Structure 1
Amino acid sequence: MSALVCVARIGAAHGVRGAVKLWTFTEDPFAVKRYGPLLSKDGKRQFEVATAREARDHLVATFKGVTTRDEAERLNGIELYVARDKLPATDADEYYHTDLIGLAAVTTDGDALGRVLAIHNFGAGDIIEIAPPKGTTMLLPFTNAVVPEVDIAGGRVVIALPQEVEGEDENNDPSASRPRESGDP
């Protein structure tokens, strides 16, 4: 089985008939219905979306076999995963986080920096977290200027270490920004 990718998180119960709030991490929120059974992180539990409707910033969904509020409340906080190979292919310069995690990070001169630990987005753009063999992790902007090459087949990302990480250059070109993770896992 391929790596699992988190596509949604179950929230609080909604109503008395087993519905829950469902936060999806897909470009199309309803894509979670097309993947078939969704798995818990450990892969031991399966969940199949029976119904889903749009709410303000989430879906209101029911799962097959969940019919009461008590059953729905016990699901709160469970993250839902799908096998990576069930997801659509990405466009050029788009990546699933799971494809980047663990890749070797090297400088433009080929010197080892460590491994990709995570990709974060705190609202101001994507950030790549590099874990060196020793010391503290590095958080760098995930832009074409800082990460000029992503070679998934070769198992590495090339990092052009910036002279200054904080602040922005006045001539910063917004088109140099790398696209976010592929939107429809």
Structure 2
Amino acid sequence: MPAPDQDRVLLGQFGAAHGIRGEIKINSYTEEPAGIADYGPFTLDDGRVVEITAIRVQGDALVARVKGIGDRNAAETLRNRKLFVDRSALPDLEEEDDFYHADLVGLALELEDGTPYGTIASVQNFGAGDLIEVEPAPGARTFYLPFTRAIVPTVDIKAGKAVVVPPPETEARPEPGEPEDEA
């Protein structure tokens, strides 16, 4: 996995096209989801630069209009593309407990007693809340844990680590290299 670009921050991801006039669903990772448009223009993960011109709530989803995108086919070219901005375009964080998801990637994870647990490979949100992808050892099979205060009670960006309290069902995970039970 390539090293994360510390100068870029992921703020959202486009979903499926919505309708025939070029609108597209968007997953926003900003504190106020509908405010994502305020941070653009965005650089996509394929290098294109886009500008969100309008955003609206449609049921449980956000739907965006993108400058230069006028029909469904054009909107489909944006599907699943990640939206990044330069860190310099974001406001300074005021609280010590505040951080951007990009700051979590690469943090060492340890248990409450200081035992190494792995590293954070990514932060994802598939619709039911934030998840951290845990890499228990370099090259080992990753797994996800909920990114909640109960599971990750301490995040220390300056020290480069976070404390994790794994739920009981993850305690039975095999160590890297051990065969998994076939129950």
- TM-score, normalising length from structure 2? 0.68
User: How high is the sequence identity, in percent, across the aligned residues?
Assistant: 39
Unaligned runs of 5+ in 1: 168-185
SS in 1 for 2:73: helix
Uncovered stretches (5+) of structure 2, i.e. residues with no partner: 1-5, 171-183
Match of 2:161 in 1: 156
Flag the structure with more relative contact order, 1 or 2, with Cα contacts below 8 A and sequence separation at least 6: 1
3-state SS of the aligned residue for 2:34?
Answer: helix
**Hey, what does 1:175 align to over in structure 2?**
none
Aligned match for 1:77, one of 68, 75, 80? 80
- Which residue is 1:53 aligned to? 56
Name the CA distance, whole Å, in 2 between partners of 1:78 and 1:127: 19
> What is the TM-score with the length of structure 1 in the denominator?
0.67
What is the CA-CA distance between 1:59 and the residue it aligns to? Answer: 2.8
Deviation readout 1:12-43 (Å, 9 max, x if unpaired): 14233x3223332333233122112111114x
State the superposition RMSD in angstroms: 3.2
Change (3 A) 1:82 1:90: farther
Is 1:104 aligned with 2:108? yes
Deviations 1:57-81 (A, max 9, x none): 2233221122233322322332222
Q: State which of 4, 7, 29 in structure 1 corresponds to 2:12.
A: 7
- 1:131 equivalent in structure 2: 135
Q: Does 1:33 align with 2:37?
A: yes
Q: Give the 3 Å change call, closer, same or farther, for CA 139–64 of structure 1 in structure 2.
A: closer
Cα distance change on mapping 1:12 and 1:90 into 2, 3 Å: farther
Q: Retained in 1: the 8 A contact 2:11–2:36?
A: no
